[in-house]
Amino acid sequence: MTQRFRESPVSENPVLQYVAVSHLAEKKMGATIRVLSSWSNQLESVGLWYDQLLSESLGKNEKGATPLTTVTTRDLHSRGQQHQDGRRDKIITNLCVGESRRDHLGLPPLSGSTGNEDQLDDLIGTTWPSMLAAATDGTNEAYASVKRPTATIHLPQIDEFTIGQLLQMLMLATVVEGRLVGTNPYGQPGVEAYKKFMMKRLRPDG
């Protein structure tokens, strides 16, 4: 990932592409909230790690987008409503996995059913990857229908090599954006402030 960042043109450079989309959405569309929408619950911790990275690195001098991690389809009903009809202050980046699991579980018949009570009989045998793809595409089509900006990061699979590249991409992108907005991504003055006042209360005689 570091080599691609250093050597690849923008058309093949995921770091610069991610920075460009995120930064322009904030500047041109007012998208100050960055939703990392993970389409795998295995990647939720990556989103929470990125929440800290972006907040601590760029949240200075009254600048910096606000990160938010969601896991879909788990959070889709609640978050989807806000993303579809709420304030136009968000860009939603889908984090998608090409091969989420090896055993392609299929939707089974309803146990003990004598009819089509759940109205899902026509979907019996549909595999989980197919359902997830339909949910992903349908959700993004809905956002596009009301001009809600989205982007997508595709991971071929979840393994150490791929996750390592993703983490490095997000770190490099954060540093590049720090340069764009004139912020030092390595300091944390806001964190030091709360520590100082907390210790003052813990050691009132110090």
Which pairing describes strands 90-97 and 33-38: parallel, antiparallel, or unpaired?
parallel
> Residues 28, 77, 147, 196: which is the catalytic one?
77
Active site residue 147: no
Active site residue 195: yes
DSSP 20-51: HHHHHHHHHH---EEEEEESSGGGHHHHHHHH
| Rounded Cα–Cα distance for residues 134 and 127 (Å) | 11
Q: CA-CA distances (angstroms) from residue 163 to 110, 111, 152, 167?
A: 37, 39, 15, 6
> Residues 23, 44, 56, 63: which is the catalytic one?
56
Tokens 């993970």, residue located: 38
> Residues 27, 104, 154, 195: which is the catalytic one?
195
Active site residue 56: yes
Catalytic residue numbers read 56, 77, 195
